[in-house]
Amino acid sequence: MTDVTSQPAPSAPPRNVTGDSITLDGVVKQYKGQDTPAVERLDLEIEAGDIVAFVGPSGCGKTTTLKMINRLIEPTEGRIFIGGRDVTREDPDKLRQSIGYVIQSGGLFPHWSVAKNIGAIPRVLGWDKKRIAERTEYLLDLVGLDPATFADRLPKDMSGGQQQRVGVARALAADPPVLLMDEPFGAVDPITRVRLQDSLIAIQHELGKTIVIVTHDFEEATKLGDKVLILSEGGHVEQYATPERILTDPATPFVEEFVGSGAKLAYLTVSRVRDVEVDPVTTARIGESSQVVIGRAKAAGHTWVVVVDESGRPRSWPSLPEVASKPEVSDYLDRRLPVVAQSSTLNDALDAMLAASQGATLVTDGRGAVVGSLSIGSVTDVIQTKLAEGHAAVEDLSYETYVDGSDPTPTPIVAAADEPGSAGPA
């Protein structure tokens, strides 16, 4: 292994699309016994191969809309087309076999092994055992779980994030063109959540499915969505556009408030690691001669190296003196190693660095192989640039140009209690 060169991946890689378009045409849902419809009248076009994220306040009709697409909920009015086919006329059971569906915490059958869970729909479809076994192995690998380790496990013997990965694998089992996900990453910790989001983006780039994901987290929506649909009560469309568009040009006061005043910093959540040039790293294989590795690192001007496995996935990042402490490169796994994917946002990268108390993070490609490192300095440079652009946009008011007496705003109070309980409402 030699140096990994620092070539940022192209921002828009050519896409392999296997998904179908989805069209909602005048779709209404009126639940029995409710005064107003949960979804008043929704028209929506989702392009094949896109990820579209639905966001909006609780009760605005996100889940209702999602479930009408696979007819877990029957629309009261209107028509839904998938790949141009009017599915409102199709057998709902057949339809659901051709649409992957992922719910919060995976929704796995608790008494079934991972393999049995993943094979559920293929078995209904009458696939033979061998084909199901091969598909299961492929999918476990795709979602980043070792088939040998996990195929026979029961869901209860896995972490929430691992169960969620199995949920995604199961939804993809019969190779559906459309994947529907309802708050799939709601119940996992923030770091696992970032990993799952990155895996989903990687899977999407590899498979080109059409994915509709419901979330109440605007940041997650902007990270995952090629387009974001912001809904208000009654399934009313406030804005349906790219994340960049929503941030720079909110269509309504509702969107503006929803996005929040941190819109400029929200750029951190739409700026990707792949848009920033990463620094090259020297990699080393387990079992290589430490002297050879040190020589290679010095020649490249590096003070540390990245130890990788056979797939190029990072295990540790020892300094040269650490490397020198053993004759051969160790297989030590550093569990606190900060790692983000190229699809991660700069915000994720900062989180990873802070969580590991490090000034840099490693960057990996869609399969988890290291492609370089990103320093906190590169990230802050991007923030500085964005903030400078932001300041330029704000009208130029300064001490000198201010007209005395023109702003009656009282002095803002910024204070913190020195001791707990020493301050507070009297």
Ligand X SMILES: Nc1ncnc2c1ncn2[C@@H]1O[C@H](COP(=O)(O)OP(=O)(O)OP(=O)(O)O)[C@@H](O)[C@H]1O
Which residues are near ligand X by CB under 6 A? 31, 34, 38, 58-64, 216
What strands, in cross-sheet order, belong to the sheet with 283-285?
283-285, 306-308, 314-316
CB 104 within 8 A of CB 57: no
Comparing CB distances to ligand X, the nearer of 64 and 210 is 64
CB distance 176 to 209 below 8 Å:
yes
Q: Min. distance of Cβ 61 from ligand X in angstroms?
A: 4
Cβ at position 62, least distance to Mg ion in Å: 5
Task: Work out which of 63, 199, 222, 344 binds Mg ion, going by CB under 5 A.
Answer: 63
Which tokens hold the place of 110?
């608790």
Closer residue to Mg ion (CB): 63 or 361: 63
| Full DSSP string of 6-60 | --PPPSS---------EEEEEEEE--TT-SS-SEEEEEEEE-TT-EEEEE-STTS
Distance separating alpha carbons of residues 114 and 320, to the nearest angstrom: 42
271 is a site residue for Mg ion (CB under 5 A) = no
* Nearest distance from C-beta of residue 216 to Mg ion, angstroms: 8
Options 56-64, 103-111, 243-251, 344-352: segment touching Mg ion (CB under 5 A): 56-64
For the bound state, the minimum distance from the C-beta of residue 230 to ligand X, rounded and expressed in Å, comes to 12
Q: If contact means CB under 5 to 8 A according to the sort of partner, which of ligand X, Mg ion, none does residue 34 touch? A: ligand X
CB of 158: closest distance to ligand X in angstroms?
A: 25
Nearer to Mg ion, 181 or 270 (CB): 181
Q: CA 298, CA 372: separation in Å to the nearest integer?
A: 17
Residue 97 vs 104, nearer CB to Mg ion: 104
60 touches, from ligand X, Mg ion, none (C-beta below 5 to 8 Å by class):
ligand X
The 8 Å CB, 24+ separation contacts for 259-262 are: 259/218, 260/218
Which span sits near Mg ion by CB under 5 A: 60-68, 128-136, 228-236, 320-328?
Answer: 60-68
Question: Among residues 18 and 105, whose Cβ is nearest to ligand X?
Answer: 105
| Distance, CA of 234 to CA of 218 (rounded, Å) | 19
Q: Where are the alpha helices (DSSP H) in 86-177?
A: 92-97, 114-118, 120-124, 129-142, 147-150, 160-171
Q: Which is nearer to ligand X, 59 or 260 (CB)?
A: 59
- Asked if residue 50 lies in contact with residue 227, where contact means CB atoms within 8 angstroms, the answer is yes
Binding residues for Mg ion, rule: CB under 5 A, are 63
